[in-house]
Amino acid sequence: MATMVSEFEKFSEEWNRQRRTLFEIDETLKEIATAHHLELIQDDHDRPGRDLLWVREGIHRKIQIDPSDQLQKTYFVALLGWEDRGSSRWSANPNVRRDVTQAELKNVLEHGIRELNDLTRNDLQPPGSIRRS
């Protein structure tokens, strides 16, 4: 008799597969977080991923790391900066990298930390605006 796999079981299987890819980089992320005094968050907001967070000069800074390709063991890395001004959130998303390999990850993260630390209030855009290059 064939058994049916529930949607929850499919979701759970995919979640665990993505998390296994992240376990392989956890030690690197812990080292970077410790060296730069960053907070490391795991699996936040119902997604398998990792975030490095810190606040500098009133600007919140975040590097988001998500699995990109489990077979190739690559990662999606996004840089985010934001500041709440009254009831508005001003933000910058200076860089996104796709398909970052484990070998490249540490250098990409170190570069991202420097890039985010260079953000100033003048680099942040009001809600709904798009910065054109």
Contacts of 53 (CB under 8 A, 6+ apart): 38, 39, 40, 41, 60, 61, 62
**In whole angstroms, what is the distance from residue 21 CA to residue 17 CA?**
7
Q: Is the pLDDT of residue 4 over 60?
A: no
Token representation of residue 13: 């299987």
Whether this model's pTM surpasses 0.75: yes
Distance separating alpha carbons of residues 66 and 109, to the nearest angstrom: 13
Rounded CA-CA distance 82/60 in Å is 5
Establish if 26 belongs to a structural domain.
Answer: no
For residue 24, pLDDT beyond 60: yes
Q: Burial code of 38-69, b = ≥16 C-beta within 10 A, e = fewer?
A: beeeeeeeeebbbbbbbeeeebbbbbbbbbbe
Residue 69 lies in a domain: yes
Position with higher pLDDT, 11 vs 127: 127
pLDDT of the residue at 133:
45
For residues 91-108, give the mean pLDDT: 92
How many domains would you assign to the chain? 1
Nearest to 28 by CA among 61, 77, 85, 92: 77
**Is 64 within a domain?**
yes
Domain membership of residue 73 (yes or no) is yes
In a domain, 128, yes or no: no
Q: What local confidence, expressed as pLDDT, does residue 3 receive?
A: 55
Residue 34 CB coordination number (10 Å): 10
Domain that holds residue 62: 40-123
